[in-house]
A and B are shown apart, each in its own frame.
Chain A
Amino acid sequence: MTTTTHPGIEVTEPMSGRRMGLRLLWAVLAGAAAELTGLGLIASAAWLITRAAEQPPLAALSVAIVAVRAFATSRGVFRYAERLTGHDVALRAQAATRERLYHSLIPPRAPRHGGADLLSRMVDDTDAVQDLLVRCLLPATSALITGLTAVVIAVAVHPAAALVLLAGLVAAGVLLPAGTAAAARRWSARIAPARAALAERVADLVHGSADLTAYGAGERALSGALDADAALAALERRQSRVHAAALAVGVLVQGLTVAAIVLLAQGSGAGTVATAVLALTALVSFEPVLPLAAAGERFAGISAALKRLKEVRSVPPAVTEPGTPAPLPGAPLTVEIDDLVVRHAPHAPAAVDGVSLTLTPGKRVALVGPSGAGKSTLLAALMRLVEPGSGTITVNGADLSSLDSDDVRTLMTGLTQDPYIFQTTLRDNLRLAGPDGTDEDLERAVRRARLERWVSRTGWDAQLGEDGRTVSGGQLQRLALARALLYDPPVLLLDEPAEALDEATADELMADLLDVTHGRTTLIVTHRLRGLEEVDEIVVMEHGRVIQRGRHDELVATPGYYRDLWQSEALVSG
């Protein structure tokens, strides 16, 4: 969130592929130029010195002298340009990746296991694109250009030596990185589980500290964590052989190539000038090539991250949007659910199994039942977050599947499961549900959600979320309720509005809520029965099915789940 939540939609130009390519080209050229000037500096200096030793007239050296000075001056400038353009491109690429990822996440998808950790890893993965450019692609390209140039110079001087140089460069710049990449891939497959095991043990020690201490199991858990650490360390030590060997092979290839070139040149009677230029060019041409082995190691992790991102992007949305969405029905709305069946996976047991329900304008319905009964899934189907297996939901006769899912959520929404607090001010956290709302609207919503005392204490501009002020479960719930009331949809959905509140506050909140929603089409999910005397219909669900329905008086008069629960609630609350 930013503090700017103005409703005005800014038309931003999409990241153009061609311009991005152009920037990338500049970065590559700057990098290559930096390496080439380095190569030129050494080659011209070597030529200058060896030629000077033959004591030619001074004029013969003047070009070389100018070249040495020019290369020396321009090298730093090119390096500077390379670093700037490279970072610019990388930052742009990362932003583009995040945008693409975000756009693919907007349509609702089937909930996936892993939750917050999975999300943060996904966000970390978007850094991979940056790494790919700055650490792999750009260095590899400038190494390639430098290597080719060195080989071309060598061909002009001594074709056979050029062949040796080419072989050396290919070994150090292609074979070696390919080898390290393959090894890194193999090793990360072995190390990742060990790392996860350690993380798990550490999490157990920290999060389970009270349990461990109380039951005297701390020492056991500690030694378990240390064992996991030792196992990981052993694997890491073995993995380091790859890196060490790559380092050694690189040095060896560079040195032996130079030695072989000198041997070849001197054997074939090439002059001192030619030999020196060849040898020093060869020596320096390896400089951008040798780091590629480390880039290869890194590439394994980068490609895994990119693959994960691609998988995330390719997950199909949970609902199919209509080709041409039907027009949005106008209020007042009648919602009819007919024999609805919802499954979370094709062969999973039905989470909602043949539920029918009608919401006429102004009607208030309560959904009651044990956790896992399918209540929240039913709300998700109404918000068009899940695709029904069979059965229909219609709004004023229009099938939900013929409407744009975003439009459906302007009709039916409210307080959803696991509401989220963004890292921004209290005001912006509320305002996201009503960008056009006046301060008065915000204050009214807060009052109705019984949050006004907290708001006056913390202030509208208090930072909430992870690094800001901590928000208790009850406050979070009420803030979410305030959002729902501010948004004021034609059909208000409330999923466990009194969740995580203490008894007294929960009772007050429910009473207020029933007051506020009077005459408003409302579907409320709850496991507390107090106050439900007022609603028009109570639907009791268990295992996805409706097991009882009716008004409070009727249900209390009939033996069954509702009456049992009511009695136990009445009994214990005196």
Chain B
Amino acid sequence: MHKDLLRLMRAERSVRAHLTVTLAAAVIAGLLVLVQAELLAGVLSGRFATGALLFLAAVVGLRALLGWGQGIFAARTSTGVKSALRHRLLARLQELGPARLSGHRSGELVTLTGRGLDALDPYLTGYLPAMAVAGVVPVAVLVRLFAADLTSAVIVLITLPLIPIFGALVGMHTKAVTERQWRALSLLGGHFLDVVRGLPTLRAFGRARYQASVIQRVADSHRSATMRTLRVAFLSSLVLELCASLSLALVAVPIGLRLLGGSLDLTTALLVLLLAPEAYLPLRMMGTRFHASMEGVAAADAAFAVLDDAAAPEQARAAAVPAAGGPPEIRLENVTVRYPGRDDPALREVSLVITPGERVALVGESGGGKSTLLHLLLGFVAPTEGRVLVDGADLAELDLTAWRDRLAFVPQRPHLFATSVADNIRLGAPSASPELVRRAAVAAHADEFVDVLPDGYDTLVGERGANLSAGQRQRLALARAFCRPDASLLLLDEPTARLDGRSEAAVVTATAELSRGRTSVIVAHRPAMIDLADRVIRIQEGRIVSDVLAEKSLVPGAGAAQAGDER
């Protein structure tokens, strides 16, 4: 029984109700088998008239109805649990925010939250009801057997616990080996996928055909290893089957002999014969369902690992609304940023004043702390020490949503959403008119390619914007920033990375226009972009190592980094 899952199901009222109905239907249907056996034994032995078959049919009908109900409500339980988990996971992801989210393997999170949770179905709709039935029905069967025939009941009572005991023994013996083997099997799948993905590379070096024999060899050795494990692991099912069928023989043969001696009547004998297997069946069923639900348990573990992640959620904060208006002044006072689990701080004791309307380029090696500085201004990360002041107010005390309303941000790898081009542009201004969207696109030099798309601005962008080039994606992200004409602070993270010469020129021109009249902080690698700035700050290993003014008036267009004064 999965504790976290149980807690979740208790907390969700509708799920609890649906689960109760599911389990009740399963248990009642299981108990009706007893009634069915009673009726059948009676009719076969001749104690009941043939008319009793009508009752038998009614019981069967009732069982069918309960089975139907169980199916319906089990699905409701399962969709309810999945939705609740998904809801919590997604809320948790929102809470983590972009900075901490990047610490997780984002692809895995997406898979887990999407189809990963579907693995819970066998657990919820199969294993849980089977467990409930296994808890009630064997006991009921035993009680009925004791009432009918003491000897048989004792035989069943003695052999019945052998099933869980042997199951557990074999299970314990093989658990670790089996798990290792299944992991190896999934590795085998991973190996195959790896080779298929790398096929173009193998082809380029003439290794594609050779690799086929490696695939075969790896598969063969894994298969023989797996079969070695299974030979032991399947012993548990051998034991279960043997217990169940041998005890039936143990019950049936003495009964036959006692019938012969006349010490037992036929009705009881048939009843015992019909009931005895029903004592073992639920236990065997539970074992089968358990194996089928292992994947679901793993999915639940993964989901709760994300939910219980030690990282504390963002603190509730005093929500002072920042003063709206013109380009802000930004002041960093001895700011140090540490990410959990890393020894070196991303930024150490950085102090900096950016005056309103100033255009600042951040340069330096990747990993030096430039993006962290932007994330700090965005409120994605908070200073571990020191503070960030915006027009004199501590950013930690401002209402972040209101503060972000004043920003326009172009990340290093902008994400395009699976919606229309226009909706992608008006991400930060949902009520923007088509006219404004178009103007933003023109300003970002994006209109030229948007106009030739099949449906223009209504063209749907494929998953992760797959049908647009890197340069086009970058320009749409710039258009997003243009679509916030009231933004007073512009934050750009390497807007020209991965662009070819012409796209770069277009993006640089667009950025120059966008930054006019705004405070801008631009992380830049390429000279053309650095050239835009009034001031170039070099960051290395979390510290500002140089901070120079560009003297545009003297050397127009020339390299700013060299041509400035040390501040």
Contact = CB atoms under 8 A, between A and B. Distances in A.
Contact of B67 (A69, A248, A272, A409): A248
A127 B380 CA distance: 42
A226 interface: yes
Interface in B83-136: 83, 86-87, 90-91, 93-94, 97-98, 101, 106, 109-110, 113-115
A184 interface: no
Given A1-B194, A61-B260, A73 B216 contact: no
Interface stretch (B196-204, B315-323, B533-541): B196-204
Majority secondary structure of chain B interface residues (helix, strand, loop or mixed): helix
B501 interface: yes
Given A9-B213, A65-B256, A243-B75, A502 B366 contact: yes
B204 A422 contact: no
Interface stretch (A204-212, A343-351, A390-398, A511-519): A204-212
B415 A409 contact: no
A201 interface: yes
Contacts of A406: 206, 208-209
A12 B217 contact: yes
B338 interface: no
A374 to B, nearest CB: 13
A489 B248 CA distance: 74
A222 B94 contact: yes
B212 A123 contact: no
Contacts of A122: 196
B249 A53 contact: no
A256 B238 contact: no
Given A106-B209, A272-B45, A209 B252 contact: no
A212 B80 CA distance: 27
A266 B414 CA distance: 78
| Range of interface residues on B (Cβ < 8 Å) | 35 or more
Contacts of A236: 75, 78-79
Interface stretch (A85-93, A153-161, A300-308): A85-93
Contact of A52 (B198, B240, B257): B257
Q: How large is the interface on A (under 10, 10 to 19, 20 to 34, 35 or more residues)?
A: 35 or more
Interface string B19-55: 0000000000000000010001001111000100100
Interface in A229-261: 229-230, 233, 236-237, 239-241, 243-245, 247-252, 254-256, 258-259
Given A1-B214, A49-B269, A255 B259 contact: no
A65 B204 contact: no
Contacts of A216: 401, 404-405, 428
A416 B204 contact: yes
Nearest to A45: B252
B53 A72 contact: no
Question: Is the contact region of chain A dominated by helix, strand, or loop, or is it mixed?
Answer: helix
Given A58-B260, A237-B75, A409 B234 contact: no
A574 B557 CA distance: 9
B292 to A, nearest CB: 11
Given A58-B260, A217-B428, A222-B90, A49 B67 contact: no
Contacts of A557: none
A571 to B, nearest CB: 6
A195 B44 contact: no
Contact of A76 (B201, B245, B259): B245
Nearest to B189: A123
A249 to B, nearest CB: 7
A573 B230 contact: no
Interface string B505-544: 1000000000000000000011110110000000000000
21 contacts: A12-B217, A64-B256, A65-B253, A73-B246, A80-B235, A84-B231, A99-B219, A106-B212, A116-B197, A208-B417, A222-B90, A229-B87, A241-B72, A245-B71, A247-B71, A248-B67, A255-B59, A262-B44, A280-B274, A421-B198, A422-B198
Kindly list the 10 A-B residue pairs having the minimum CB-CB distance in the complex, ordered from nearest: A244-B71, A255-B60, A574-B559, A240-B75, A215-B428, A208-B415, A572-B527, A76-B241, A72-B249, A76-B242
